[in-house]
Amino acid sequence: MRFSSKMIYVFFLATLIPVLASCGDSQVPVVSRSLTRAKKLNDQLVELIRKKNYRKALPIAEKVLALREKSLKPESPRVIESIDSLAAIYVATRRYKKAEELYVRRLAILKKTSDPEHLDVAATLYKMAPAYRRQGKFAKAAKFLKQARVIYEKNLGPDHMFIVQTIKRQANLYQSIGMWQQAAPFMKEARAMKARLAKQQTKKSG
């Protein structure tokens, strides 16, 4: 018996339909349930972070990240959100090495998926500095803050509150190791920039 192309197509379709149905019945609901659970847990997490209940928030943050990692791509905004939350909790609970590992991972994702001078890269470098400072890695912390400032200035101009915050963090870094003379120019610069921004805002509102 000879098979026509139409018969072969019908046979192929008949064998494919059960496979597709199986995928729909098992995999999709599992992913959906995982993400639904992750969302519910994340809602609890946001409230715990707001209350600064970091010790109770820690295992929930770890669970949310694990659930999202199983269901989403590494570069998914929700995965990155979970990395940020967990890293911040690690810093708050003095687990600085773990925080460093997450920030390094986040930075690697950003460098693959966005411009190396994107604002998100600057924000990550800014967040990484305290984790390094707390581990005594002052040179790395200073380097990352300097890089963050360069990126902020390139994207936002010479005066911006993000830059003020970065300069203050640079000053705090030197103050933490007793280098008051090195910290003083940063504090002076931050105050001057903040005053300029306030003056600009007054002009706009007037």
Residue 152: predicted pLDDT? 97
Residue 174: predicted pLDDT? 95
Residue 56: predicted pLDDT? 96
Residue 202: predicted pLDDT? 87
Residue 206: predicted pLDDT? 65
| Angle (nearest 5°) at CA 125 between 163 and 113 | 115
Residue 21: predicted pLDDT? 38
In whole angstroms, what is the distance from residue 175 CA to residue 186 CA?
11
Virtual CA dihedral for 126, 131, 133, 138, nearest 10 degrees?
A: -70
In whole angstroms, what is the distance from residue 130 CA to residue 135 CA?
9
Residue 38: predicted pLDDT? 94
What are the residue boundaries of the structural domains of the chain, listed by start? 37-113, 124-206
The class (CATH top level) of 37-113 is mainly alpha
Residue 16: predicted pLDDT? 38
Per-residue pLDDT tens over the stretch 158-184: 999 999 999 999 999 999 999 999 999
- Reading the block at residue 173, the tokens are 């870094």
In whole angstroms, what is the distance from residue 175 CA to residue 160 CA?
23
Give pLDDT < 50 ranges for the chain.
1, 3, 5-27
Indicate the angle between helix axes 161-176 and 138-156, nearest 10 degrees.
170
* CATH number, span 124-206: 1.25.40.10
Residue 80: predicted pLDDT? 93
Q: Do 124-206 and 37-113 have the same topology in CATH? A: yes
